[in-house]
Structures are given as C-alpha cells and as structure tokens.
C-alpha cells in the first residue's frame, strides 16, 4: 500500500514486471497492468521504454511520478497504429479516462513519420483519442512528437491542464492540442511551449474541417466544434497560437483568454487554407487579454490576426501588442459584407486604412460601420473588436 493516500487503489506498474531502466522493453508489463477492468496504474520514477501504444479502456486512470518518463522505443514507429497513448476503442468509443503526471516522449529523433498520404504510414502523433466522453490530461509533459502532441476527435467533456510541450527536433505540423470535428464541451488551461519553435505549428488547432486523409489526421472526421474554453496559453516562439479552420462545419462558442508569448506567424489564424474565402462559420468567438507579439527577427508580413471565414459575433477584447515589426495586427478578407466596431486604435492605424474601404466613420480612436472588402490594420494594439458578417449585428 502506498503511503500517499492519493494513490490508494493504484497498482505500481513494477508489480507487473516493468523495469523502468530505460533499456528493457516494458511494453508487456504495461499491457498486463492495463488489462484490468477500470485499471488504476501508478508509474514510479524511472525511464520506461515501450514499443507499442498504451491502449486505455474506459475508466482507466494513470498517475505518473514527476520523474517518470515513458518513451517510445527506437525504431518502434513502423505503422499507422503506433502512438504512445490512445483509447482502446475508436469505433464504439470510451469514457472516463484520466492521465496525470510524468513525461511522455515520442522520441521523434529515432521514429520519423512516414509518407503523408500512405494509409499504412506511421503518423508521429503522441496522444490520440477518438470518441471519448470524459477525458482528463493534467500536470504532465509531452515531448518530441513528429507531428501532433495531443489530438482528439469526436470527444466530449475533456479537460487538459498544466501541460508542457517541448522538443529537441523541429518538424512540420507539430500541433500542440489538435481538435478535430464533433468535439464539444472542453477546457484547455495552462498549456506551455517551453522550447524555441514549440510547437512548430498551431499551439491550439480547432479544425472543424481538415484533410482527414493525411496520416496524422487518419481516423478523424470533419464536423462542428463547440463550447470550449482555452485560457492561459504561453509559448516562447510558437509558429501560431490558435488556429480556427471552418469550411462546411461551424465552430461555435469558443473563449480564448490570456494568451501570451511570441509567434513566427499568427496569433489567431482563421485563414481559408485550401478553402474558398467566405466559407465556413466562426460564431461567438471571444478572444480577451492577449499579449502575443511577432518575433522581432521574423520578416514575414503575415498579420497577427487573419479572418477569411464568415463570422458571427467575433470579439477581441484587450489585445496588447508590443513588437515593432511591419506585420499588420489585423487582416479581414472574407468575401462578405461585415459590420465592424474597432476601438482603441492609434491615429497612425486609422490613417493607414484605405479611404474606399466603406467604413462609415472614424471617430477619435474608433472605427465603426460596414466594410465590403479587404481591410488591413497596421501594427498596434486593439482595445476592442466586434465583427459580424452581414450588415447589422449587435455589439455587447
């Protein structure tokens, strides 16, 4: 019995034969530990090498010591089934899965992903959960994926908190938390990218529509995403902080709060990607208390906030920008007639706007009215932005 009452009812994975020496293959021991119904597993300090995914059934709970590291063995990334953690039943789904503590290392340096559109290729995803009701991942570190750190699809009632991302090897498509279609009712809180260029794609990707034939999206579906709180997100130098991707499936009721750090490209990316401008729907999106700068050594001219999708009640409150790069703060180009209110602008920002952008009026530090074409706002902070596609709408 553990002295720590918090661990009562948990079984040490070493009871099942795990060594934790970083050399032996501990896959069999973990498999035995996880076979129990509603397994409750404790992973003590050590380095555990595994060559197959740890497959979690409904009711499974894992608590790992802060100095425990579970690592994908060298050369184990051989096919499309391989990841580090997943739920056991992608088809029918699972419920009530909890992972807390430890470091989870996909070891991308020795497990390169395969060809992107090969259906049998290894995708390089660390945590993969599909059709889970009740998923909690907290107080942990996820490191060295070749693509996504953590992905979910068709998942409800999820809670991700106090998670650190890092890598010693930079690769494309290294999303932090990647959310696919039919996900709803979630909280993502206190997520950090602690190494440079981490993540090397979207810190939080909310992708209602995507190319689900790519190997790292395999098993995911396009569909609506709604009712998610994202707060206290930090990165030293992420590629992008938040991605909102919608074409035929809406993204609704998203709160993004307290984002801080620096980016190579976007703070909030709602561009059209491969889709036509003006498609999709972003509804009831609120972004508040954001302090995200463009990296000073980055010369690309991409705006910090870009909007190519149709929107309904898209709100930014208190975006403070402190860098001096030439990249615009805001770019709206969604092939729509938009009602806009933008407050807290500098005189330089107001003067830089094209005279024929059909803004009804500029007054003091405020821009208010209707735009029917592209609008680009120069570097500077925004006290408040309200945007909705279609003339009218109500600013609250």
Closest-CA residue to 359 (of 344, 343, 373): 373
The reported pTM is 0.95
For residue 181, give Cα distances in angstroms to 152, 191, 252, 388. Answer: 9, 21, 12, 23
Question: What whole-number percentage of the chain has pLDDT above 90?
Answer: 85
Is residue 395 a part of any domain in this protein? Answer: no
Helix or strand or coil: residue 224? coil
Is residue 261 a part of any domain in this protein? Answer: yes
Q: How confident is the model at residue 365 (pLDDT cuts 50, 70, 90)?
A: confident
Is residue 394 a part of any domain in this protein? Answer: no
**β-strand partners of 343:** 384
For residue 14, give Cα distances in angstroms to 3, 34, 64. Answer: 17, 13, 12
pLDDT at 396: 38
pLDDT tens digits along 135-188: 999 999 999 999 999 999 999 999 999 999 999 999 999 999 999 999 999 999
Q: Is the Cβ–Cβ distance between 272 and 248 less than 8 Å?
A: no
Residue ranges making up the domain that contains 91? 5-389
Number of domains in the chain: 1
pLDDT tens digits along 268-296: 999 999 999 999 999 999 999 999 999 98
pLDDT at 146: 97
Is residue 396 a part of any domain in this protein? Answer: no
Closest-CA residue to 287 (of 310, 301, 269, 274): 269
Is residue 304 a part of any domain in this protein? Answer: yes
Computed over every residue of the chain, the mean pLDDT equals 93
Question: What whole-number percentage of the chain has pLDDT above 70?
Answer: 94
CATH number at residue 322: 2.160.20.10
The answer for residues whose C-beta is within 8 angstroms of residue 4's C-beta and 6 or more apart is none
């Amino acid at each position: 019995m553990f002295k720590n009452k918090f661990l009562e009812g948990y079984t040490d994975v070493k009871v099942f034969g795990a060594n934790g020496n970083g050399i032996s293959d501990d896959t069999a021991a973990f498999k035995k530990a996880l076979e129990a119904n509603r397994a409750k597993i404790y992973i003590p300090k050590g380095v555990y090498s595994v060559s197959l995914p740890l497959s979690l059934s409904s009711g499974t709970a894992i608590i790992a010591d802060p100095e425990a590291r579970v690592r994908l063995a060298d050369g184990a990334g051989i096919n499309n089934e391989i990841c580090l953690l997943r739920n056991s039943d992608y088809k029918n789904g699972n419920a009530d899965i909890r992972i807390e503590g430890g470091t989870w290392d996909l070891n991308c340096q020795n497990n390169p992903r395969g060809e992107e559109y090969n259906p049998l290729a290894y995708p390089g995803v660390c945590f993969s959960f599909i059709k889970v009701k009740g998923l909690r991942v907290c107080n942990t570190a996820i490191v060295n994926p070749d693509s996504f750190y953590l992905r979910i699809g068709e998942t409800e009632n999820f809670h991700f908190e106090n998670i650190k991302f890092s890598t010693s090897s930079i690769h494309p498509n290294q999303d932090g938390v990647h959310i696919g279609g039919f996900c709803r009712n979630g909280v993502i809180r206190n997520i950090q990218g602690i190494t440079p260029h981490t993540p090397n794609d979207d810190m939080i990707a909310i992708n209602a529509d995507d190319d689900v034939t790519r190997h790292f999206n395999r098993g995911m579906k396009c569909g609506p995403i709604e009712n998610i709180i994202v707060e206290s997100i930090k990165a030293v130098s992420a590629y992008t902080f938040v991605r909102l991707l919608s074409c035929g499936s809406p993204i609704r009721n998203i709160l993004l709060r307290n984002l801080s750090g620096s980016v190579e490209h976007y703070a909030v990316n709602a561009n059209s990607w491969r889709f036509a401008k003006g498609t999709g729907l972003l509804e009831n999106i609120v972004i508040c208390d954001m302090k995200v700068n463009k990296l000073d050594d980055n010369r690309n001219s991409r705006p910090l906030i870009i909007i190519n999708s149709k929107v309904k009640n898209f709100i930014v409150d208190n975006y403070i920008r402190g860098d001096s790069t030439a990249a615009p703060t805001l770019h709206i180009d969604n092939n729509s007639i938009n009602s806009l209110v933008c407050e807290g602008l500098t005189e330089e920002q107001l003067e830089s706007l094209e005279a024929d952008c059909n803004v009804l009026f500029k007054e003091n530090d405020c821009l208010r009215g209707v735009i029917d074409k592209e609008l680009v706002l120069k570097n500077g902070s925004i006290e408040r932005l309200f945007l909705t596609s279609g003339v009218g709408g109500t600013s609250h």
